[in-house]
Amino acid sequence: MKKNISILILLLFWSLTSFSQSFNRRIFDYPALEKAYIKCDDSILNELNKVIISLQENNSAKAVMQSKELFEKNQKCPEAFGIYGLSLFRSGKLLDGLNIIESGIDMFGSVPELIKGRYQLSLELYQNGIGKKNIDGNSIYLSQNEKLKFDDTQFKEENLKSALADLEYLTHKFPDSNEELFIIAKIHQLKGAFEKSNQAFEKLSALDEFNDEATFNIATNYVQLKKYDEAEKYLMKLLSKYPKEPQILNKLSELYELSGNKIKQDEFNKKAIFNNHVPYFSNIEYNDKNFEVVTFFSSEQNDAKAKLSKLDKIQKSESEDYTIDICLTILKIHTNHGNGVEEKATEILAKIGKPALEKTHKLFNTDVSTCTITNLSEIMSKVKDESSWQILVEYLPKIAHMPMTMMPPNVPEEIIRFNEEKGAKEVLKVVKKLLNKENTDSEDPMAQLAGFSDYIYYSPLKKISKQKLKKYTAELNFTEEEIKKLNEKLN
């Protein structure tokens, strides 16, 4: 019986490892490859900039088509190798993109832009491993059959080693390469070389643009080295500048936990939780009462009925400013989707009206979820104050170039609700560009779903009468062909 079990274990081990290959990155002797090269001329660089715009718009299929043609016609242009390689990589052809960049290094030598592109892709391969790709801003997790056929740990280590070698060459060749030095320090931190990491961070801490990040990382390394007094000194220096920053508060809580100070650990943990939920511009001060209120709404243990009752009590008994802050906190946290609490907070803010708008605008312009953006745009559309109009108008075209998972679907609808004629015209301005965009074929399913953003714009237009749409499109100088395409989308 034991023998049979052993055979099964061996067979299982073989099945898991037999298709995993060792992944080896090329090692370039960059000093030996240094030679003169000629940059692309301005006309080609202008065309390559158009490719970069396509990539920024999360349209890798178009970028590949554009850059491939430029690459094939401009084999003496190092930038064409870099941009084509990046476009392939962004479209999901990871190793093909990397190979193009490396072939550029073979041809042109130690071109800094190519080396920089190479280490950036290496770091992304390290972060994602064999089972994930980033395509057009979306994270794609691969099935077992789609994964790269390498050992994941060895694959990551090899890419990190490759990136470090590229970075060390660049910082040696160009001593003012501070961004590269920062990444080197982070890599040493990842590899557990904390003293070596701090040597680099200490240099960077003397520079204003790196001081805060470098100081935080120095403290992080001292925590790992169990030099808690040193870590505390650096963190307290940061806390004096940013007393509400959750990342600093969390690190202090971790430090006190490791050093055995339970009272301070709990204190800073609670402050971190509180400030992570409350918008940075809020006037709500941290205290036991406010901590209880905020965590009551963030907890999934409290049902919607209890939360709605508490919110109603706050609205009736607290100041308007306090109510605004609590409602915006509810919209910022992520535990009340679909239970009616966010909807009630949105309704209260819309009824408060103009006094709530300044903070509503601030939250809208921070990195918040699609649901939060949707609720905030609803508040603005109901209050209908001119101060909100430009914020919505500027946001509207950005949706077309967002990853699908980040698209707030209701913003076009809300801008039309704000002012039907003006809103519809703003939506149509975006649609006009979408109707004229080039169609690109791609085998990648994410690229094929890119048209979902179009639907977000077309859907609210269907609710407007054909007579009004005809008037608006005429005023915006739509061509007959554009009107035909628009009608096809709306019917």
> Between residues 482 and 491, which one has the greater pLDDT?
482
The region of weakest confidence among 206-210, 238-242, 402-406 is 402-406
Q: What is the pLDDT of residue 434?
A: 86
In the predicted model, is pLDDT for residue 413 greater than 90? yes
Q: Tell me the C-alpha distance between 89 and 99, whole Å.
A: 10
| 107, burial (CB in 10 Å: exposed 0-12, middle 13-18, buried 19+) | middle
In the predicted model, is pLDDT for residue 450 greater than 70? no
Say if 305 falls within a structural domain. yes
Which residues, in sequence order, are CB contacts of 62 under 8 Å at separation 6+? Answer: 54, 438, 440
Whether residue 355 sits in one domain with residue 223: no
Whether residue 338 sits in one domain with residue 282: yes
User: What average pLDDT score do residues 389-403 get?
Assistant: 91
Query: Would you say the C-alpha torsion 412, 418, 424, 427 has a positive or negative sign?
Result: negative
Residue range of the domain that includes 206: 194-276
In the predicted model, is pLDDT for residue 63 greater than 50? yes
Whether residue 287 sits in one domain with residue 261: no
Whether residue 33 sits in one domain with residue 113: yes
Whether residue 463 sits in one domain with residue 338: no
Whether residue 81 sits in one domain with residue 33: yes
> Between residues 186 and 442, which one has the greater pLDDT?
186
Say if 204 falls within a structural domain. yes
Which residues, in sequence order, are CB contacts of 45 under 8 Å at separation 6+? Answer: 39, 79
Q: What is the pLDDT of residue 11?
A: 36
Given pLDDT bands bounded at 50, 70 and 90, which one contains residue 463? very high
- Quote the number of domains for the chain: 4
Q: Tell me the C-alpha distance between 471 and 464, whole Å.
A: 11
Whether residue 161 sits in one domain with residue 217: no
Say if 185 falls within a structural domain. no
Whether residue 156 sits in one domain with residue 41: yes
Query: Would you say the C-alpha torsion 209, 212, 218, 221 has a positive or negative sign?
Result: negative
pLDDT digits (tens, 9 = 90+) for 131-174: 988 888 788 888 888 888 899 999 999 999 999 999 999 999 99
Say if 36 falls within a structural domain. yes
Q: Tell me the C-alpha distance between 349 and 332, whole Å.
A: 14
37-46, 246-255, 408-417, range with greatest mean pLDDT = 246-255
Q: What is the pLDDT of residue 338?
A: 83
| 175, burial (CB in 10 Å: exposed 0-12, middle 13-18, buried 19+) | exposed
Whether residue 239 sits in one domain with residue 282: no
pLDDT digits (tens, 9 = 90+) for 3-33: 443 433 333 333 444 346 788 999 999 999 9
Q: What is the pLDDT of residue 5?
A: 39
Whether residue 200 sits in one domain with residue 226: yes
Say if 58 falls within a structural domain. yes
Whether residue 327 sits in one domain with residue 240: no
In the predicted model, is pLDDT for residue 380 greater than 70? yes
Whether residue 258 sits in one domain with residue 283: no
- Write out the DSSP string of 150-163: B-HHHHHHHHHHHH
The CATH number covering residue 251 comes to 1.25.40.10
> Between residues 290 and 11, which one has the greater pLDDT?
290
> Between residues 111 and 15, which one has the greater pLDDT?
111
Residue that is last in its domain, among 247, 276, 305: 276
- Side-chain-side CA neighbours of 358 within 13 Å: the count stands at 6
Residue that is last in its domain, among 276, 295, 317: 276
Q: What is the pLDDT of residue 16?
A: 40
Q: What is the pLDDT of residue 405?
A: 75
Say if 14 falls within a structural domain. no
Say if 359 falls within a structural domain. yes
Q: What is the pLDDT of residue 145?
A: 86
Q: What is the pLDDT of residue 3?
A: 40
Q: Mean pLDDT for the chain?
A: 91
Say if 429 falls within a structural domain. yes
User: What average pLDDT score do residues 393-413 get?
Assistant: 88
Given pLDDT bands bounded at 50, 70 and 90, which one contains residue 446? very low
| Angle value at C-alpha 456, between 455 and 462, nearest 5 degrees | 75
Report the predicted TM-score, pTM, of the whole model to 2 decimal places: 0.85
Both tokens assigned to 107: 């041809």
Q: Tell me the C-alpha distance between 322 and 314, whole Å.
A: 8
Q: What is the pLDDT of residue 270?
A: 98
